Amino acid sequence: MVKKAAKAVPNHLLRAARQRRSWTQQMVADQIGAPLPLNITRWERGTAFPSAFYVQKLCQLFQMSAEELGLLRIDTASQPSQRSRTEPLRRQSGHLPLINPCPLIITARGAIAGAGAISGSRRSTLQSVSMTFL
């Protein structure tokens, strides 16, 4: 999704995460399989937003959540029903509940990948549930 430059909101979190590691945009593009470093430039400048595929790749590369990288996007203008459903939550807590688009992958042996932020008790619950369905 491409935005006009005047409406672009720079993603300072993504840029800062890259710069803390002294990585170039080319290095990030190579690591996540993006065709051009221009993609990274556009994501950092806010003129484009990465697809779910690249959000997942960026989370894995930086070992950070989508929230920590500034990669959560809530488009309430195109989803009025979503806005009305979450409005009571926003009033109570001051923010919307966050969903991490970096998926959990449950292997055939019940191991959970991509679950670094899951506590031990939740991990064991997920593993027992996953074994039920395998």
Residue ranges and CATH numbers for the domains of the chain are 5-62 (1.10.260.40), 104-134 (no CATH)
| Angle at 41 (CA atoms; ends 37, 43), nearest 5 degrees | 115
- The pLDDT, as a whole number, for residue 15 is 97
Handedness of CA 42, 46, 49, 50 (dihedral sign): positive
**Burial classification of residue 33, based on how many CB atoms lie within 10 Å of its CB (0-12 exposed, 13-18 middle, 19 or more buried):** exposed
Residues of the chain with pLDDT under 50: 76, 78-97, 115, 117, 130-134
- The pLDDT, as a whole number, for residue 112 is 55
pTM for this one? 0.55
Give how far the C-alpha of residue 94 lies from the chain's centroid of Cα atoms, to the nearest Å: 21
